[in-house]
């Protein structure tokens, strides 16, 4: 093809693709316009997932009759004059691209009356061309109707998601804006059904309650953190709500982030929120949260992408740690029973003074050789996964206190031992070298009919795990062998537990290791602790028990020093 300049219309359609990715982007841009126009009430009506119709009515300032056509021109805006204005932008829009983009790929009708004018104006635009314009009576404010979205861009139409997906996106978007602007009344109607309404009371709690329902809202805690400016770092306020650990979801999409009233997408900050739950939530579970970040507008670049959904922070680290700390403190404050020691990856300062004292009562009886952990199997030495840790002692018959190169490490003896046994067991299981112990007693183990059925159909699995079981009557088994690691414990109780659910081998192995491991409350002698630590140092995954519980918490030298400064502060009445 010969080179030719594109026609204006084609240029506009191509440009529109960047702003208007999907129906929800239209809703977003129009809500932002209404908010920028100081609306106190915004009504959103959607049909056919936004493809057929999107209508947004607001009671904002309205557009002057002589400006309404200009509003639809490319790069026409009342919000910005020079590029310098960008650094202090307070409005949600500023690029002057939304109306022209939307109009380029749909059929638009707008009725608007400026608050200071008597008469309103009505325009109709088809595929970017004004086909009708006339004065009309109307209440102050703006009603914009977008129909047949993407009717003239078949390529985009083809890539549209299912209607239900678009509906979901639109609902999520409207509720997000309602949360960010609790003083504005929002109503969302999809296919003539009212799906959401906020009352404009100004209280975020009122909106959250509407968004997630009362039962869920009861499981939310308020976030309210403030990091003052210091050493060139900006002040950051973090407010909102976040869920207690028991209320969680399978994906991150329920973490809503806002910066200065703008709904944003930011994987790092989403991570900061979920990271605040470290060790409180299982892997792959995520909290529900609405987090409002306020920061000097000079600190944020909002002009990163045409959809304005991404922003850039001058000091992302400062924002990251403010968010993480505020969320962590909120979840810790609701339940004093959660230990407040920072994990190795935590950036926030630990709240050592709020630790649950019962678990840390000093109760050292190191010389009492009650439980010995045998040395690990004499195989080739595995690579080290933890630094060398020196055992200092035991606390509350639960935790082993150790010292390493980067400070103090507290180890949950039970979780750590489960981890060690699990890796040893797995290795033997995979290589078919599991040590087993023959059993000579013939006392059968009675199970319920249901459990017996499950065990019966999983006999080969049990055998691979070291349990040789022989059916004995309808619902009993004689135990011929057990894995060596449970030979010295009540393996009948273990078998009964395993019989509850025999489907997942890994779960059965975890069961075995949990039964075989040293318990909380067991006093360990120095040698047993040292053996345990030495084996943990060479586990493949030393930081978690096989069921995901943390094995270790770390308190760095800096954190310890910091705690002493704080303690000094409170002892003398001065801030730490």
Contact set with ligand ADP (CB under 6 A): 29, 33-34, 37, 58, 60-63, 71, 76-79, 93-100, 142
Q: For residue 269, report the phi and psi dihedrals to the nearest 5 degrees.
A: -75, -35
Q: 126 - beta bridge partners?
A: 107, 129
Q: Which is nearer to ligand ADP, 95 or 176 (CB)?
A: 95
Q: Which does 95 bind (CB under 5 to 8 A by kind): ligand ADP, Mg ion, none?
A: ligand ADP
Closest separation between CB of residue 115 and ligand ADP, Å?
Answer: 10
Closest separation between CB of residue 110 and ligand ADP, Å?
Answer: 8
Closest separation between CB of residue 94 and ligand ADP, Å?
Answer: 5
Q: Which does 96 bind (CB under 5 to 8 A by kind): Mg ion, ligand ADP, none?
A: ligand ADP
Helices 267-275 and 316-334: crossing angle in degrees, nearest 10, is 30
What radius of gyration, in Å, describes the C-alpha atoms of the chain? Answer: 32
Which of 200, 221, 216, 208 lies closest to 258 in space, CA to CA?
208
Q: Which does 79 bind (CB under 5 to 8 A by kind): Mg ion, ligand ADP, none?
A: ligand ADP
Q: Which is nearer to ligand ADP, 96 or 483 (CB)?
A: 96
Rounded distance, CA 472 to CA 87, Å?
80
Closest separation between CB of residue 92 and ligand ADP, Å?
Answer: 7
Q: Which does 178 bind (CB under 5 to 8 A by kind): ligand ADP, Mg ion, none?
A: none
User: What are the residues whose beta carbons fall under 8 Å from the beta carbon of 426, sequence distance 6 or more?
Assistant: 509
Closest separation between CB of residue 67 and ligand ADP, Å?
Answer: 7
Q: Which does 451 bind (CB under 5 to 8 A by kind): ligand ADP, Mg ion, none?
A: none
Q: Which does 482 bind (CB under 5 to 8 A by kind): Mg ion, ligand ADP, none?
A: none
User: What are the residues whose beta carbons fall under 8 Å from the beta carbon of 506, sequence distance 6 or more?
Assistant: 546
Q: Which is nearer to ligand ADP, 113 or 417 (CB)?
A: 113
Helices 491-500 and 449-457: crossing angle in degrees, nearest 10, is 90
Closest separation between CB of residue 182 and ligand ADP, Å?
Answer: 20
Closest separation between CB of residue 76 and ligand ADP, Å?
Answer: 6
Q: Which does 341 bind (CB under 5 to 8 A by kind): Mg ion, ligand ADP, none?
A: none
Closest separation between CB of residue 513 and ligand ADP, Å?
Answer: 60
Which of 50, 59, 65 lies closest to 102 in space, CA to CA?
50
Q: Which is nearer to ligand ADP, 98 or 536 (CB)?
A: 98
Q: Which is nearer to ligand ADP, 34 or 211 (CB)?
A: 34
Q: Which does 302 bind (CB under 5 to 8 A by kind): Mg ion, ligand ADP, none?
A: none
Q: For residue 44, report the phi and psi dihedrals to the nearest 5 degrees.
A: -115, 125
The number of angstroms, rounded, from the C-alpha of 332 to the middle of its chain's C-alpha atoms is 16
| Residue, CB closest to ligand ADP | 93
User: What are the residues whose beta carbons fall under 8 Å from the beta carbon of 334, sequence distance 6 or more?
Assistant: 221, 244
Q: Which is nearer to ligand ADP, 259 or 447 (CB)?
A: 259
Q: Which is nearer to ligand ADP, 121 or 436 (CB)?
A: 121
User: What are the residues whose beta carbons fall under 8 Å from the beta carbon of 200, sequence distance 6 or more?
Assistant: 40, 41, 182, 183, 184, 185, 186
Closest separation between CB of residue 537 and ligand ADP, Å?
Answer: 58
Closest separation between CB of residue 269 and Mg ion, Å?
Answer: 24
Q: Which is nearer to ligand ADP, 76 or 209 (CB)?
A: 76
Structure tokens at 171: 């609902």
Rounded distance, CA 240 to CA 326, Å?
10
Q: Which does 37 bind (CB under 5 to 8 A by kind): ligand ADP, Mg ion, none?
A: ligand ADP
Q: Which is nearer to ligand ADP, 101 or 413 (CB)?
A: 101
Site of tokens 């404050």: 333
* Chain residues that interact with Mg ion, rule: CB under 5 A: 33, 93, 98
DSSP 553: E
Q: Which is nearer to ligand ADP, 11 or 561 (CB)?
A: 11
Site of tokens 């400064």: 565
Closest separation between CB of residue 26 and ligand ADP, Å?
Answer: 11
CA geometry: angle at 63 spanning 61 and 69, to 5°?
165
Q: For residue 399, report the phi and psi dihedrals to the nearest 5 degrees.
A: -120, 140
| Residue, CB closest to Mg ion | 93
**Three-class secondary structure of residue 164 per DSSP:** helix
Which of 20, 7, 4, 47 lies closest to 129 in space, CA to CA?
7
Rounded distance, CA 296 to CA 219, Å?
31
Q: Which is nearer to ligand ADP, 307 or 556 (CB)?
A: 307
């Amino acid at each position: 093809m010969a080179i030719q300049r594109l026609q204006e219309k084609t240029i506009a359609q191509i440009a529109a693709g960047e702003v208007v990715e999907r129906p929800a982007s239209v809703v977003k841009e129009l809500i932002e316009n209404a908010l920028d126009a100081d609306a106190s009430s915004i009504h959103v009506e959607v049909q056919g997932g936004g493809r057929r119709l999107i209508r947004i009515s607001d009671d904002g300032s309205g557009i002057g009759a002589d400006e309404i056509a200009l509003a639809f021109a490319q790069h026409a805006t009342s919000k910005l004059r020079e590029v310098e204005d960008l650094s202090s932008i307070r409005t949600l829009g500023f690029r002057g691209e939304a109306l022209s983009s939307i109009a380029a790929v749909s059929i638009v009708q707008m009725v608007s009356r400026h608050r200071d004018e008597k008469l309103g104006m009505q325009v109709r635009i088809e595929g970017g061309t004004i086909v009708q314009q006339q004065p009309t009576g109307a209440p102050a404010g703006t009603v914009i109707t977008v129909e047949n979205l993407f009717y003239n861009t078949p390529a985009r139409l083809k890539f549209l998601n299912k209607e239900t997906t678009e509906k979901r996106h639109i609902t999520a978007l409207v509720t997000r804006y309602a949360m960010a602007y609790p003083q504005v009344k929002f109503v969302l109607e999809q296919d003539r059904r009212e799906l959401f309404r906020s009352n404009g009371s100004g209280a975020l709690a009122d909106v959250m309650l509407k968004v997630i329902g009362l039962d869920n809202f009861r499981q939310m805690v308020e976030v309210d953190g403030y990091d003052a400016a210091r050493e060139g770092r900006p002040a950051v306020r973090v407010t909102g709500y976040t869920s207690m650990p028991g209320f969680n979801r399978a994906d991150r999409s329920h973490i809503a982030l806002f910066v200065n009233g703008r709904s944003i997408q930011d994987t790092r900050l989403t991570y900061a929120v979920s990271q605040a739950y470290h060790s409180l939530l299982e892997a792959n579970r995520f909290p529900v949260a609405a987090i409002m970040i306020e920061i000097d507008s000079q600190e944020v670049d909002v002009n990163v992408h045409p959809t304005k959904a991404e922003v850039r922070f001058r000091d992302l680290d400062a924002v990251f740690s403010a968010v993480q700390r505020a969320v962590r403190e909120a979840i810790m404050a609701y339940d004093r029973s959660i230990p407040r020691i920072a994990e190795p990856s935590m950036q926030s300062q630990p709240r050592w003074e709020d630790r649950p004292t019962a678990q840390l009562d000093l109760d050292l009886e190191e010389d009492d050789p009650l439980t010995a952990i045998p040395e690990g199997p004499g195989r080739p030495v595995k690579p080290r996964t933890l630094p060398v840790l020196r055992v200092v002692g035991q606390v509350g018959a639960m935790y082993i206190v150790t010292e390493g190169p980067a400070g103090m490490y507290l180890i949950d003896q039970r979780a750590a031992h489960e981890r060690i046994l699990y890796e040893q067991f797995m290795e033997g299981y995979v290589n078919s070298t599991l040590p087993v112990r023959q059993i000579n007693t013939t006392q059968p183990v009675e199970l319920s009919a249901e459990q017996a059925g499950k065990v019966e159909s999983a006999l080969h699995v049990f055998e691979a795990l070291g349990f040789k079981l022989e059916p004995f009557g309808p619902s009993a088994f004689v135990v011929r062998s057990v894995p060596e690691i449970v030979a010295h414990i009540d393996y009948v109780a273990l078998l009964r537990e395993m019989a509850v659910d025999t489907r997942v081998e890994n779960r059965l192995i975890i069961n075995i290791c949990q039964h075989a491991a040293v318990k909380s409350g067991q006093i360990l002698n120095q040698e047993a602790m040292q053996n345990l630590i030495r084996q943990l140092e060479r586990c493949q995954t030393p930081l978690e028990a096989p069921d995901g519980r943390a094995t270790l918490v770390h308190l760095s030298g800096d954190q310890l020093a910091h705690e002493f400064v704080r303690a000094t502060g409170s002892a003398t009445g001065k801030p730490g």
